């Protein structure tokens, strides 16, 4: 039988490894890491699901406000360039109230224009807004 030291450097071997030599290597040298080798491996389905889960924010229905209070808060957002959170009457495909964060950039008696945190401009009817909250810091 061969000594263990003979199997240290297989890159210098000229002849093919036999079944017996391979068995000896796995019995005495190789240590299987088991599930450790799979823990960092994710399928694309898993990563897509995790990204969607991270982006999903649970919207808590807020108390419906009067048109006067909504108008007052929208005016404050516009006047002081403060970020606001608008909860709309519209319900998304997930059966959740739609919500939009941004700064009011313009308004009239029927509509407002709001720039979302992503920089997109949205035109929204005042009648579609059910609640407005002003954020303490812009964008947050």
Q: What is the mean pLDDT of residues 15-22?
A: 86
Nearest alpha-carbon partner for 69 in 80, 60, 77, 81: 77
Task: Please tell me the predicted confidence (pLDDT) of residue 103.
Answer: 94
Domain with CATH 2.30.30.100 in the chain: 67-134
Half-sphere exposure of 116 toward its Cβ, with a 13 Å CA cutoff? 9
Of 11-25, 91-105, 107-121, which gets the smallest average pLDDT? Answer: 11-25
Task: Please tell me the predicted confidence (pLDDT) of residue 78.
Answer: 93
Q: How confident is the model over 36-80, as pLDDT tens digits?
A: 555 566 667 777 776 666 555 567 888 999 999 999 999 999 999
List, as one string, the DSSP characters of 12-63. Answer: G--SPPPHHHHHHHHHHT----GGGGGTT---HHHHHHHHHHHH--PPPPPP
Confidence of residue 93 (pLDDT cuts 50, 70, 90): confident
Architecture of the 67-134 domain: Roll (2.30)
pTM over 0.75? The answer is no
């Amino acid at each position: 039988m061969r000594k263990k030291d003979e199997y240290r450097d297989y890159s210098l071997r000229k002849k093919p490894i036999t079944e017996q030599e391979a068995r000896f290597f796995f019995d005495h040298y190789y240590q299987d890491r088991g599930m450790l080798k799979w823990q960092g491996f994710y399928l694309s389905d898993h990563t897509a699901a995790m990204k969607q889960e991270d982006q999903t924010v649970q919207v808590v229905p807020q108390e419906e406000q009067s048109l006067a209070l909504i108008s007052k808060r929208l005016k404050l957002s516009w006047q002081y360039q403060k970020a606001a959170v608008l909860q709309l009457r519209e319900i998304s495909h997930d059966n959740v109230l739609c919500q939009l964060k941004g700064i009011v950039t313009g308004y009239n008696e029927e509509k407002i224009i709001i720039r979302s945190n992503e920089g997109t401009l949205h035109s929204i009817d005042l009648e579609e807004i059910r609640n407005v909250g002003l954020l303490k810091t812009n964008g947050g």
